[in-house]
A = this chain, B = another copy of it.
Amino acid sequence: MKPSIPKGTRDFSPTEIANRNYIFNTIKAAFETFGFQPIETPSFENSSTLMGKYGDEGDRLIFKILNSGDFLAKADEKLLSEKASLQVTSQISEKALRYDLTVPFARYVVQHQNEITFPFKRYQIQPVWRADRPQKGRFREFYQCDADVVGSKSLWQEVEFIQLYDTVFSKLSLAGTTIKINNRKILSGIAEVIGAKDKLIDFTVALDKLDKIGKEGVVKEMISKGITEDAIEKVSPLFDFSGSNQDKISSLENMLQASEEGLKGVEELRFVCNTVEELGLQTASLEVDVTLARGLNYYTGAIFEVAAPKEVKMGSIGGGGRYDDLTGIFGMPDVSGVGISFGLDRIYLVLEELGLFKAVELPKPKVLFVNFGAAEALFSMKAIAALRKNNIKSELYPDDAKMKKQMNYANKREIEFVVIVGSQEIEKNEFTLKNMKSGEQDTCSISELVAKLSS
């Protein structure tokens, strides 16, 4: 029976690790350049910290950890006999795996509020777990890379987060990303104007289909959802919502004159878009998108989502926004936060598809010493020690196997250089260095060896 791993989880090979670390390190370096500091939280939290924070669907998808020992002792006999799984859960499980990085971060801020200097710019790169149905780009264990600022309502943060996205994707050579931006207050304004807050999601979902089903189709869908023709008429500019961000913002301003909150949203959006335009982006473009309704119940200001370059079919590769009351759920009110997340696994798939991992250095030795026996190995090990002190990745083939087998090993691992040490080399105190690509062979001293392999 061949062993396997749980569905939705993955083993990572050395090559995959190298590619993933390339992304992690790029994101991490950008986070730190922007002044963010790392924190980490435990893989599992008390269930009370997580449950009820992500809606019913979220509660269902959270992985629960069984209490240790005689866990049934505390369980209610009647519920057990009724097999009431839902109610029994809290009696036999007190811990659960992290579902995202935001709720643990909120918990961290409240718990450590006296040690933190606000505004607190933190980043966190850790795995999260969801009992979701696995599919392409969706796993049960995956990494999130989050940066958030808490303790300031300044819109400069929104500007910085757009720059941060642009910096990371430019560094990854992923040109042509689109950073979509919206504002919760504009959505509220639209809801006000169409006269039905509860219809807002139906409205944005329908509007999002404009490209596919055209204006007529969208209007038809909206009416079927109970939005009146009169209301639709009031926001009709959204059906021809094109042109520059400035055009869109002006159009929104006109449309939302009747909504104070809507106009506040327009003002915020204008500041962010104007400032980003003034400062410039490297390879990304910023696009106002009023259909963006991501995490609607959560965000209170800016909403972000990043789309991969158009030639790649992939869901969003990042997202975020502002939430005015992050820590309220843990009893610390009025702490505004804003943050973004990078979707590591999807970014990986995009870079792979576009062949952008070419430059990644694999964690393999630069040089292999062929092993001809005890005396040769000992002589080699002295040289290897010198190479390693100079940070040159090197190894001795562990056994004095046949030359062909050792060379095969070097080829399979794509090791660039091989050193051959026989009795002649020992006698002359020198090394035969072979370039495995060119086939070129050279005799050299230990210091020449260090010099040649250092380059």
Contact = CB atoms under 8 A, between A and B. Distances in A.
A1 interface: yes
Contacts of A4: 46, 111
A43 B141 contact: yes
A70 interface: yes
A13 B39 contact: yes
A443 to B, nearest CB: 24
A152 interface: yes
A133 to B, nearest CB: 10
A359 interface: no
Interface stretch (A74-82, A291-299, A316-324, A444-452): A74-82
A44 B108 contact: no
A364 interface: yes
Given A66-B92, A159-B381, A41 B5 contact: yes
B66 A40 contact: no
- Each complex incorporates copies of this chain amounting to 2
Contact of A412 (B6, B21, B117, B167): B117
Which label, helix, strand, loop or mixed, suits the secondary structure of the A interface? mixed
A174 B263 CA distance: 62
Please tell me the size bucket of the interface on A.
Answer: 35 or more
Given A42-B11, A72-B88, A152-B399, A93 B111 contact: no
Given A40-B17, A377-B156, A121 B395 contact: yes
Interface stretch (A30-38, A178-186, A193-201, A347-355): A30-38
A152 B371 CA distance: 13
Nearest to A95: B6
A391 B29 CA distance: 8
Contacts of A77: 81, 83
Given A129-B43, A395-B121, A38 B64 contact: no
Nearest to A74: B83
A55 interface: no
Contact of A3 (B110, B141, B152, B153): B110
6 contacts: A5-B49, A32-B363, A72-B88, A73-B83, A73-B85, A80-B81
The 5 closest A-B pairs by CB, nearest first: A35-B395, A9-B42, A154-B398, A14-B37, A72-B83
